[in-house]
Structures are given as structure tokens and as C-alpha cells.
């Protein structure tokens, strides 16, 4: 999926929504507030691709995500009267932390609306950063419902609503990430890979780069469960996805912004979609191999690069030094089991089956001897015996040593006298298990 506009013919033409000059001005406002985060090489991906791969460590910001940049830039431009009245925002957690820090630094009060599902770690960080300068309101339902509640409250109270992504000042603030990447990597920079939720970060990056470095390729990354940018590009306008998968919570937006859609459509070279399982696998690789703790949205861009390395995104060609943005590190360790589960299922190492066992002695032994391979491991077994029935159902989870071992396992299942049904990875039951 490519952009509709070739900016190389007129690289200095400012976009009507936001210009590179606004990004430069935001960078000046952010001095001493947002850290110029380091750029770190990722050797495992560089070796696999034979292309230098680096990551921009926005997880090392004071609020552990890039969101501080846009939030502070927007709030710093409020009038004295607006600051005195206070502001309102809605967030899945990271924008809220940026707003909280900005409120504390700039002397205004923020009322922050959050989905009730917001992880405890993010709640505690918001309170720590904002202190008495912020109040939190929790809303049952999706982020989009939370945003509706916040906007209604802003209208009722006369407070300024600080949008998490669809605001020119917020977009300009996020774009300072591109300025830092380009200044550090210079002419070596060939590709940037940026996660997409509402589109504020990729929009700001695209605006600055297409005016200053039109030779750099810009790739945006949607999560499969909330691919709002891809859907909008297919339709030609922002569309509401309805239900989204909240696993990649920092990008779980059902409808991309109007401003951000225009910029993505005009300036972003390619948008790809990455499944949540690939994100989970990359989170584990970042931690175990590279020593980086990334939240799901934070691992989204490097997950795309890893998929390119494995040949899973053949439509993507990385050129020159490739910079992927680790957008956030607000990871809740209580989610580790889910991350591991999604990763193993994605890799084809974990499979689930419904087994109908005859209610007779030796049925389980038959399954173990005839179906289970010597290297296969049962990780989950739930069986319900009903005396009035001839068979008893069991949910069985099996871990394989190698993805290709599933071929032999399926063959043994076909040859077995037992009735065994493999659970499809895209089924409602699998979504329940994950």
C-alpha cells in the first residue's frame, strides 16, 4: 500500500495540516523536557537483513513513551486563561502520562479519562508524574467510548480538549522524533518504520522528513487487530472499525484521525499490517536478546522489520540504514503469560485440540501412546467426565519442539480412533483462550 502523492518533485512544499517549520518550533519548546533519546543498533536484525537496523528508544522518555512530545507541545501553547481553566484528555495510558507531566510542569490541571482496562502500571505512572495536577476518570468500554466521554466533559466545563493524535500541535511535537533520527544518522538513513494507532507519530515524522529528507522511505505499521490506517486508505477516508483487538493497547484505535489520515495518505510511502502474534514474538526477542522492555505498541515497528527478515512481508524492501521507533516501554509484567502464549501460537509451536475421549479405562493412555509424539508436550488439559455420556470432552494444548512437527501430529490424529478436532487460530474459541 503506497501513498498517493510523490513528494520528491517538490520536497519543500509544506503540508496544509502541519509543516516541518512547526516541527522545528516544537523541538525548541521541548528542550529540557523531552530527552533526545538514544539510537541503538539491533544486531540480530542487521545480520538477518544485511542492512543496518537501529531502534529509536522512545521508551527512555521520562514518561516512557514519545507521547510526551505532542502533549507538552500542545499544552505549552495554551493561553493563560486556558491554563487556568484546565484541560481534558482521553488516553489508553501513554498520552495520559505525557499530559500529566506537562500539567505538572506548566502549572495547569488535567482531567484524564481512561478505559477501565488500563493496566495498573500505567495508572500508577500517571499519578506519579502528575501528582495533584491531574485527576483520573475511568470509563467502561473501548478507548473510543472513553474519548467520547472526555470530549463531552470538555464541552460541559469549557476546558480545552487535548487530542491524543489528531491535533496539529500534537502532530508537530511527535514529529521531533524524525528530526533527532535524521540529525544523528545523517545520509546513512534510508528507511524509518513507525507504529500507527491514531497516526500522530507517523504523521509528524512524515511531515518533517518529506520536507527535509524526501529520499527517506517511510513505512507505517498497523496492528492487525486495529488496522485503522489500512482501512482508511482502502476506503479513501477514515472509517470506524467497530470492534478492535486491545492487545496492542497503545495503538488500539478504531478510527484514524482526519488530519492524520490526510498526512498518511499524502506522505507515507507504505503501510503494512502486523499480527499480534508477531508483536508478541518481537517483545520477547527485544527483551531476551536486546535487553529492551517494550510494550506491545512499542514493539510494533521492529516486529515489522523482523517479519521482513523472516520473509513474511515480501512486499517491503528496506533500503539504507533502517530506523524503527520503539514507541513505548510501559509494559505490565502481569501480561507476560499472554505475550508468551500469543508468540508460541503465532510461531506454530502451540496448538489446541478438542478431544472426545470414550468413557472407558485406557482412553487417555491411548491418546498419549498413539497421538502424542515423543517430543510433544501437553501444556493444558481440561477434562469433564459425564457418567450419562459415552464420551467426555477434553481441551488439550500441545507444545511442539519445531513448527514442522505439526505435520506428523496431524497424521497421527487422522489415524487415531479418537475424535479430535484442531482449534483454528482464527476461531472465537481461540480468541477466548488467548
| Active-site residue set | 67, 327
Give the dihedral of Cα atoms 423, 429, 430, 434; nearest 10 deg. -150
Q: Which residues contact 238 (CB under 8 A, 6 or more apart)?
A: 228, 232, 255, 256, 257, 258, 261
Sheet holding 391-399, edge to edge: 377-383, 391-399, 350-358, 419-422
The cell numbers describing 234, all together, are 482502502
**Measured distance CA(295)–CA(293) in Å, rounded:** 7
Closest CA to 352 of 434, 293, 280: 434
Report the half-sphere exposure of 341 (CA within 13 A, side-chain side). 16
For cell 533502517, the residue is 322
Question: Do 99 and 70 touch, CB atoms closer than 8 A?
Answer: no
Strand extents, DSSP E, 91-176: 110-115, 134-139, 160-161
Question: Do 129 and 101 touch, CB atoms closer than 8 A?
Answer: yes
The cell numbers describing 296, all together, are 506491545
Of the chain, the end-to-end C-alpha distance in Å amounts to 30
Amino acid at each position: 500500500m503506497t501513498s498517493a502523492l510523490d513528494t520528491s518533485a517538490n520536497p519543500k512544499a509544506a503540508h496544509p495540516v502541519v509543516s516541518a517549520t512547526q516541527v522545528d518550533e516544537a523541538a525548541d519548546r521541548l528542550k529540557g523536557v523531552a530527552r533526545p533519546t538514544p539510537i541503538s543498533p539491533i544486531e540480530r536484525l542487521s545480520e538477518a537483513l544485511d542492512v543496518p537496523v537501529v531502534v529509536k528508544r522512545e521508551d527512555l522518555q521520562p514518561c516512557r513513551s514519545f507521547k510526551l512530545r505532542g502533549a507538552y507541545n500542545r499544552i505549552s501553547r495554551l493561553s493563560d486563561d486556558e491554563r487556568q481553566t484546565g484541560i481534558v484528555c482521553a488516553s489508553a495510558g501513554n498520552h495520559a502520562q505525557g499530559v500529566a507531566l506537562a500539567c505538572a510542569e506548566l502549572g495547569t490541571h488535567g482531567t484524564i479519562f481512561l478505559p477501565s482496562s488500563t493496566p495498573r502500571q500505567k495508572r500508577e505512572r500517571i499519578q506519579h508524574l502528575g501528582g495533584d495536577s491531574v485527576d483520573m476518570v475511568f470509563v467502561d468500554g473501548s478507548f473510543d467510548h472513553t474519548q467520547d466521554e472526555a470530549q463531552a466533559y470538555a464541552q460541559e466545563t469549557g476546558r480545552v480538549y487535548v487530542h491524543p493524535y489528531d491535533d496539529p500541535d500534537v502532530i508537530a511535537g511527535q514529529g521531533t522524533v524524525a528530526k533527532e533520527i535524521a540529525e544523528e544518522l545523517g545520509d546513512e538513513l534510508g528507511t524509518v518504520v513507525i507504529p500507527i494507532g491514531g497516526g500522530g507519530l507517523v504523521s509528524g515524522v512524515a511531515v518533517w522528513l518529506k520536507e527535509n529528507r524526501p529520499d527517506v522511505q517511510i513505512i507505517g505499521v498497523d496492528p492487525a487487530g486495529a488496522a485503522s490506517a489500512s482501512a482508511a486508505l482502502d476506503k479513501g477516508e477514515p472509517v470506524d472499525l467497530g470492534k478492535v483487538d486491545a492487545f496492542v493497547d497503545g495503538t488500539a484505535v478504531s478510527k484514524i484521525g482526519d488530519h492524520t489520515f490526510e498526512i498518511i495518505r499524502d506522505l507515507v510511502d507504505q503501510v503494512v499490517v502486523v499480527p499480534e502474534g508477531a508483536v508478541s514474538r518481537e517483545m520477547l526477542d527485544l527483551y531476551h536478546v536486546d535487553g529492551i522492555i517494550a510494550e506491545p505498541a512499542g514493539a510494533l515497528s521492529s516486529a515489522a522489520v523482523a517479519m521482513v527478515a523472516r520473509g513474511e512481508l515480501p512486499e517491503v524492501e528496506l533500503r539504507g540504514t533502517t530506523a524503527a521507533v520503539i514507541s513505548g516501554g510501559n509494559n505490565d509484567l502481569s501480561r507476560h503469560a499472554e505475550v508468551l502464549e500469543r508468540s508460541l501460537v503465532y510461531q506454530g509451536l502451540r496448538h489446541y485440540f478438542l478431544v472426545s475421549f470414550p468413557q472407558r479405562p485406557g482412553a487417555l493412555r491411548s491418546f498419549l501412546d498413539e497421538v502424542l509424539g515423543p517430543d510433544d508436550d501437553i501444556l493444558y488439559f481440561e477434562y469433564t467426565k459425564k457418567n450419562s455420556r459415552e464420551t467426555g470432552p477434553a481441551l488439550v494444548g500441545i507444545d511442539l519442539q519445531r513448527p514442522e512437527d505439526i505435520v506428523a501430529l496431524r497424521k497421527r490424529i487422522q489415524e487415531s480412533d479418537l475424535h479430535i478436532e484442531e482449534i483454528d487460530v482464527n476461531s472465537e474459541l481461540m480468541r477466548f483462550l488467548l
